[in-house]
Amino acid sequence: MELQVEEISISPSSLAIDKSKIIKIIKIQKWFRGCVTRLKQLPLIMYKIKKYLKTQLFEFSIQNEDGRINSCNDEDEVIKLLIHKFGEKIKKPKIRMWFDILAFDYIDGWIPINIKTTTTKTSDNTGNLAMCVYAYTNEILDIHRNKSYENGKMSDILFNKLKMKNYNTNRKKDYYFIVLNKTDASDIIVNSVKGLTILTPNINNLPFQVCWNKNRTFKYENITKKIKLFINSLQNPKPSWKETFLSNIRTLDLDL
């Protein structure tokens, strides 16, 4: 049996490369690589703030015996420095809000930031439940309103959103941290709720605490992994004596 081989002719014109299409493909590839890169990084304003603060060699407050008061004084001074440097890109909210400042990023817009001063070796409080609602769920919280969100209401929203798996898939929606090391003023840590990898459970200081020396680097992961990390930090600790006491009291049925 003989095989018949047909002659295939290819004209040079059929191999001509459309330069305009190549340019479009290159642009799409650059855009895609940019998106992937941004997923693994914090907003640019965070790195600018870090770079600036590293040059300031901040002097930490030691005037009060209560370290919490010193930390509050430090945070106020940091905010003054940032407003002086970045001007209108920094907004200071009313007192007792669920963030310390808003910073403007050209890509992500206004972002909520919590400022911390710590030795970085201990586990420190982070924020209230509004922080978790904002970072973990698709609930829309108005960061520009001059009123804070109460933990009671936020706890209901957080539970229901997590139960229904209404997670936050918006890359631009996160809650950020600027951490200054009290033992080394040039050591500045920037991270976010969705960038944390190790949470320290503490049912007496909800939602969780963070040892910043173990969370120095922002690490992007799927939101499902981050929520699992968060829920584990709440579920794993044994009930506190307060929880046990209240649970037992509610079972009492006194026949007086």
Number of other residues whose CB lies within 10 A of the CB of residue 182: 20
Tokens read off for 16:
């001509």
Instruction: Give 7-29 pLDDT, tens digit per residue.
Output: 555 555 554 567 766 776 666 65
Proportion of the chain above pLDDT 90, given as a percent: 68
Would you give the DSSP letter of residue 195? G
In a domain, 27, yes or no: no
pLDDT attached to residue 3: 54
What is the value of pTM for the model shown? 0.83
Bin 211: left if φ > 0, else alpha if -120 < ψ < 50, else beta.
Answer: beta
- The pLDDT value given to residue 98: 96
Does residue 242 fall inside a structural domain?
no
Average pLDDT, the chain: 89
The structural domain count of the chain equals 1
Please tell me the predicted confidence (pLDDT) of residue 61: 86
pLDDT tens profile 132-171: 999 999 999 999 988 889 999 999 999 999 999 999 999 9
Question: Considering the domain boundaries, does residue 116 fall inside one?
Answer: yes
For 115-129, what is each residue's pLDDT tens digit?
A: 999 999 999 999 899
Q: Report yes or no on 128 lying in a domain.
A: yes
Cα 18 from chain centre: 44
Residue 15 has what pLDDT? 47
- For the chain, strand residue ranges (E) read 90-91, 101-105, 109-118, 123-125, 176-181, 188-192, 209-211
User: In this model, does residue 4 exceed pLDDT 90?
Assistant: no
Is residue 88 situated within a structural domain? yes
Here the contacts of 144-148 (C-beta below 8 Å, separation 24 or greater) are: 144/102, 144/110, 146/93, 146/94, 147/94, 148/96, 148/97, 148/98
Q: How many CB atoms lie within 10 A of CB 14?
A: 7
Q: 148 lies in a domain?
A: yes
- Whether residue 245 is contained in a domain is answered as no
User: What pLDDT shows up at residue 8?
Assistant: 54
Report the amino acid identity of residue 195.
Answer: G
Does residue 215 have a pLDDT over 70?
Answer: yes
pLDDT above 70: percentage of residues in the chain: 85
Sign of the dihedral defined by the CA atoms of residues 186, 192, 193, 196, in that order: negative
Q: Is 32 part of a structural domain of the chain? A: no
Q: Which residue segment(s) compose the domain that 221 sits in?
A: 43-234
Residue 26 pLDDT: 62
Nearest to 118 by CA among 126, 108, 110: 126
**Of 12 and 181, the one with more pLDDT:** 181
Read off the CATH number of the domain in which 186 is found: 3.40.600
Q: Average pLDDT in the 69-91 region? A: 94
Looking at residues 82-104, what average pLDDT do you find? 95
Q: At residue 178, does pLDDT exceed 70?
A: yes
